[in-house]
Chains A and B, each alone.
Chain A
């Protein structure tokens, strides 16, 4: 198999075969091959947004599904994400230039005292892939950092992530401070992280708990679409 794969010359494949090969390469975490595939599709006149959605997001969705179903494990997901990141780095500036559709803006970060950012990074990447603008605050964020960024960026969504049982209660602190300032309902608040669950999300007053990156994207799209409908009705 390895020999066969080495023999494949990406530029000789037609579009359909190339996208299929990119699905395989992203699944296998082959960053250089993904970067090459992205460049070939762009040279062939594909819009950056089409490359992103049809080749990268499509492939990463399969990775996400197989992770959820216990077929893939964290190391493989990280390798795939790293490959996607390589492709995204080429596409991001082009997406801005070509005016790709914008779904909304998200401020995201791990909460105070928590440095575990693997899940947060995956969510940020998949949100970008789905057309959201993402302001990534990184790790260890105090409530002020979230709130300042939400206001300054005129964001639609707040995403908070925690891996530790000891740090996840801080999400409530942030939500309470939003409420104290009278701006809680201005934002869609999504929370996630390994020790969280739906019950916890409800208890702290989040809009939704998202168990993985794919769910975060779907939930964000759903809330944004409801928000637009409400605005249209209002």
Chain B
């Protein structure tokens, strides 16, 4: 499991074709022959695959860019553009499964230039919680540090190591001194992840709160494609 997460963090994953359709009573019926590529952040791979397979969205393939791009968001628009250029001929439609993710509107602008759609919302924390609700709670909760299932599993790769907290724990106050709590937005009900997230909060010196969000807007958006 951990090596799969490491791979998604560092390398992402190439287009992964959906399994043969398992049409249940609530499965959507896509236009005949229409193929959709979901071009996503590696941090969302498991969630997207779970939604796709559960909902029988067999017309969707998934390709993920390395999740660690989040630590240098200025690189995301070019990486997305390159992937779109490489795969657009093979698909009828490409949907970018990123939020703004710290690009300051540049990803949205690039997607518009490329003529591809993307998820609405500032980042994945917002669409797991539901974008309007997240915007509302942010006014009261701007001292919260958020983790998702993926980020709990990859806490060392995204937080501890890049911030140098493994080598210099004395920096913790400079990074997290203004935060008050860690909110773990759980996509799945997993006691081990809950315990790990609680440890992450303790490591950062923050209060802990867990919210079972499920897939939030992500599921609704994918089902609507």
Contacts and interface: CB of A to CB of B under 8 A. Distances in A.
Given A113-B138, A165-B122, A195 B102 contact: yes
A75 interface: yes
A140 B142 contact: yes
- Grouping DSSP codes into helix (H, G, I), strand (E, B) and loop, the B interface class, with mixed when no group exceeds half, is loop
A166 interface: yes
A201 B192 CA distance: 45
Contact of B73 (A78, A79, A82, A195): A195
B73 A194 contact: yes
Given A164-B122, A195-B102, A79 B171 contact: yes
B104 interface: yes
B178 A116 contact: yes
Interface residues of A, number: 26
B104 A195 contact: yes
A165 B175 contact: no
Nearest to A114: B142
B104 A197 contact: yes
Interface string A135-148: 00001100000000
B139 interface: yes
Nearest to A115: B178
Interface string A50-87: 00000000000000000000000111101100100000
Interface of B: 73, 100, 102-106, 122-123, 135, 138-139, 142-143, 162-165, 167-168, 171, 174-175, 178-179
Interface of A: 73-76, 78-79, 82, 113-118, 139-140, 163-168, 194-197, 200
